[in-house]
Amino acid sequence: MLFQLEIPIPENQQIHLPILTTKGVELFIKREDTIHPFVSGNKFRKLKYNIAEAKRQGKETLLTFGGAFSNHIAATAAAGKMAGFKTIGIIRGDELGKDVTKTLLQNETLRNASENGMQFKFITREAYRNKTSEEFINQLKKEFGDFYLVPEGGTNALAVKGCEEVLTNEDEKFNYICCAVGTGGTISGLINSAENHQKVIGFPALKGDFLVEEIKPYVKGSENWSLQTNYHFGGYGKYSEELIRFINEFKEQTGVLLDPVYTGKMLFGILDLVSKDMFSKNSKILAIHTGGLQGIAGVNKKLKNKNKELIKV
């Protein structure tokens, strides 16, 4: 009943680590990852008002885009099913469409989405780059009929509105709100709902400075935010042995599982900045766990093939 009822308020879990005690900094994690295994964290927030709008418009189908391991694809399939929509996923990589049975056997994200009823169209990387062109969308309408289009990564004004509901009155005690950044929708909602005394810090999971310009239109001139751009680990979907080791140690020490694409990079960044005294003594930091744990299986498969340390789930 995720899309008709209010969800329980996710807990803020205090993190106890020697570096935090040494520096006199408090760190809590908002466990949005506990909302749902696939529609977790920011996915629930971003889809909530989009699904309501699709219903209002009388649409029967949701269509969206994503890569083969996309959290957003997994979430849209699961949420669409719960809310009674047909779902279509336009997936980057036409090679995946050559033998769909094999693809689904090998790829847990797509398999789960398929089990939740999502129909796929696999397209070339070149076609994927032009996916928002009017011509391509019209072609999709001819192929699939009428649909409600959810953008890649799920970010639009309604998604930002949903993400404005992450912070609650209880969170006023924090000085810093941290989150991972992909397309910028989640941080925009946090910026809009943060209190004047709070600073919002984003940790982009990908390379490039373009995100500032992507975020600005959603945040009405707010200046209470910044991006820490040194923690992308080589770019989107890239990771190092150091990051995987960090994720495993963090789980062992705190019990909190992080994903290697978004939240692992954010927590690595936060603790690195704590160690470099970026946060003054007595700072209270709230890090948002935006979910994404479904993607670990795909990364572990790649790590296993390379005989590397796996993420312990």
Ligand X SMILES: Cc1ncc(COP(=O)(O)O)c(C=O)c1O
Burial class (CB in 10 A: 0-12, 13-18, 19+), 310: middle
Residues that bind ligand X in the complex, under the rule CB under 6 A: 41-42, 71-72, 153, 155, 180-187, 259, 262, 290-292
Query: 10 Å Cβ neighbour count for 252?
Result: 9
- Print burial letters for 103-124: b (CB count within 10 Å at least 16), e (below 16): bbeebbbbebbbebebebbbbe
Nearer to ligand X, 23 or 72 (CB): 72
What does each C-alpha distance from 18 to 21, 22, 140, 225, 289 come to in angstroms? 5, 6, 54, 27, 21
Least gap, CB of 299 to ligand X (angstroms): 13
Nearer to ligand X, 262 or 268 (CB): 262
Antiparallel, parallel or unpaired: β 176-181 and 199-204: parallel
Least gap, CB of 278 to ligand X (angstroms): 21
Residue number of the CB closest to ligand X reads: 292
- The residue among 181, 197, 269 whose CA lies nearest residue 189 is 181
From CA 81, how far away is CA 103, in angstroms rounded? 22
Q: For residue 116, give the DSSP letter.
A: T
Least gap, CB of 151 to ligand X (angstroms): 10
Kindly name the residue from 40, 70, 188, 193 that is annotated as catalytic. 70
Number of H helices, E strands in the chain: 13, 10
Nearer to ligand X, 181 or 299 (CB): 181
Least gap, CB of 310 to ligand X (angstroms): 19
70 is catalytic: yes
Nearer to ligand X, 214 or 272 (CB): 214
Q: Are 154 and 43 in contact (CB under 8 A)?
A: yes
What does each C-alpha distance from 59 to 53, 87, 117, 141, 185 come to in angstroms? 9, 11, 17, 13, 23
Task: Report the DSSP beta bridge partners of residue 100.
Answer: none
Nearer to ligand X, 23 or 231 (CB): 231
Nearer to ligand X, 179 or 274 (CB): 179
Least gap, CB of 73 to ligand X (angstroms): 10
Least gap, CB of 204 to ligand X (angstroms): 8
| Residues designated as active site | 70
